[in-house]
Structure 1
């Protein structure tokens, strides 16, 4: 068992910029233990860090040693990373083991980070999507099946194991310094593809605000499922232009054509399985989280886009 007098907290996905911001916010009050399947991360002598697969035997040893009181699961492999099988094993089987061990070893607070992508993008989505809307992405693309199954697992534990106090967060596009997802790559590019004839409305949340949302959710024991998003949005094309990026229109039909053109233009930042998200708006309603947790993002769209403009000038 750890010798620290602070309660122990496990944070997965510690190599990511968002996880490191969360760790910095909580390290004063908690004995944080950082875990990532990609690499061991140095965050200071006071934070034990491990490179470990959640499905490996050594992962359970951490629960025995540290007796975690809380778990913040930010280690979801994004759909742009790894193969489908590798993502499924990590996101679904790994998360199942994490939640099972949390229940077995008496963890009393769990945060699970999901994504708004689970709702799916189609022309029949309502103007504002709340947490009761069905998760349709698994029926639209196989590349998001693991994300939906991760959510289903977390929801099962939420209702079946109330002692875990599970809070599941579905954020909109997370962007900002150090963020390496698809949207951040697009906003920071010199040229970015758009689907010709489409410019859906999109939401963006700065990584600082998202870290604040995760910290706020963790400190307040309110289990449930919550969208996390600001109350404003902007068209995708306008977002690119505000960031100083030049849009490159790509024909959307036939379906094989945009993939072929993207390969020819070497625009790999625009994965084919997300094409519908660049055609149809998916605007999530974050009012429930805002009301229940007293949360409001501090970073405006202007400040988000200014960061990417300045980043381009520095390069």
Structure 2
């Protein structure tokens, strides 16, 4: 009897630390193909890796060659990485191309990684934001339009083509070893700015836990949108204290002043839209995902903060 064929899965955003974690969890049970628009990553002889933009004509060749069964789309470009137009092309048009090809070639499972930032930071946000809440961020910041549009596209395909079995994940702040986002940079810094008079509640999820969540989501074909977050949260200034950061109070008005001071603190990138997230709480309700997929984070806040306390990045 011939050996059963392993599922063929395309993983985008392969140069990121999170994609590496997901690939490590799936490499024994699946045949993986890694793609990143920024660089080609070396993952060993068993995993083909390509540096291709989803909008490039040669991207379709991968679907013909490998006959994918599923897609894990982790290739969302953050606001600090490209100009607004290039980011829109990558996140929105690139995702549309990916979904079109998935439909054309009969893909039966797609997981799309989004972000809790789509909810927007406002003074009147509810204490716990569930998945039915509107995505207000596009009206608050032009830098988040592409994130909302990416989700809107995935939503359209989710309902128009149910056979794709699309699951959209909205995680809270992803942190931990190898994570290179702004929040991780702040927690790893010896000194970190705080907006004077503000210390909103925040949620943090370890990169190991979000990688587990993505694998759980892929392995159970439940269509829909899910927040991914632990059941605990902490005030931002308290988180900095527990990470061993010296807090630098920054006036929140006028808006240009915080950005000037951030440059003085040598924080290389600080997207302007994040200012509101350091004023107002955006605490998301992750219970639906936990119940549906049997998810429970393994890394508590104290372990996350201990890592940053013990691994400070010199200024």
Q: What TM-score do the two structures reach when normalised by structure 1?
A: 0.97
- The whole-number CA distance in structure 2 between the counterparts of 1:185 and 1:249 is 17
- The whole-number CA distance in structure 1 between the counterparts of 2:15 and 2:261 is 33
Aligned to 1:19, what secondary structure does the other structure show? helix
Aligned to 2:148: 148
The Cα shift of 1:269 comes to 4.2
- After TM superposition, list the pairs within 5 Å mapping 1:124-203 onto structure 2: 124-203=124-203
Aligned to 2:63, what secondary structure does the other structure show? helix
- Note if 1:230 corresponds to 2:230: yes
- Note if 1:245 corresponds to 2:236: no
Contact 1:11/1:35 (8 A) holds in 2: yes
- The whole-number CA distance in structure 2 between the counterparts of 1:187 and 1:262 is 14
The Cα shift of 1:312 comes to 2.2
Aligned to 1:75, what secondary structure does the other structure show? coil
- After TM superposition, list the pairs within 5 Å mapping 1:30-69 onto structure 2: 30-69=30-69
Aligned to 1:256: 256
Measured against aligned partners, the alpha-carbon deviations of 1:43-102 in whole angstroms (never above 9, x if no partner) come to 111000000000001100000000100000000001121110111000000000000000
Aligned to 1:272, what secondary structure does the other structure show? coil
Aligned to 1:34, what secondary structure does the other structure show? strand
- The whole-number CA distance in structure 2 between the counterparts of 1:211 and 1:76 is 15
Contact 1:193/1:267 (8 A) holds in 2: no
Contact 1:169/1:227 (8 A) holds in 2: yes
- The whole-number CA distance in structure 2 between the counterparts of 1:303 and 1:284 is 21
Stretches of structure 1 that go unaligned for 5 or more consecutive residues are none
Matched residue count: 313
Contact 2:189/2:313 (8 A) holds in 1: no
The Cα shift of 1:314 comes to 10
Contact 1:143/1:273 (8 A) holds in 2: yes
The Cα shift of 1:241 comes to 1.0
- Note if 1:213 corresponds to 2:213: yes
- The whole-number CA distance in structure 1 between the counterparts of 2:183 and 2:255 is 21
- Note if 1:89 corresponds to 2:126: no
The Cα shift of 1:258 comes to 1.9
RMSD, matched Cα: 1.6
Contact 1:185/1:269 (8 A) holds in 2: no
Measured against aligned partners, the alpha-carbon deviations of 1:241-260 in whole angstroms (never above 9, x if no partner) come to 11111111110012222223
The Cα shift of 1:166 comes to 0.1
The Cα shift of 1:24 comes to 0.7
Report the CA distance shift for 1:106/1:235 in structure 2 as closer, same or farther (over 3 A).
Answer: same
Q: What TM-score do the two structures reach when normalised by structure 2?
A: 0.97
The Cα shift of 1:145 comes to 0.2
Aligned to 1:230, what secondary structure does the other structure show? coil
- The whole-number CA distance in structure 1 between the counterparts of 2:110 and 2:225 is 12
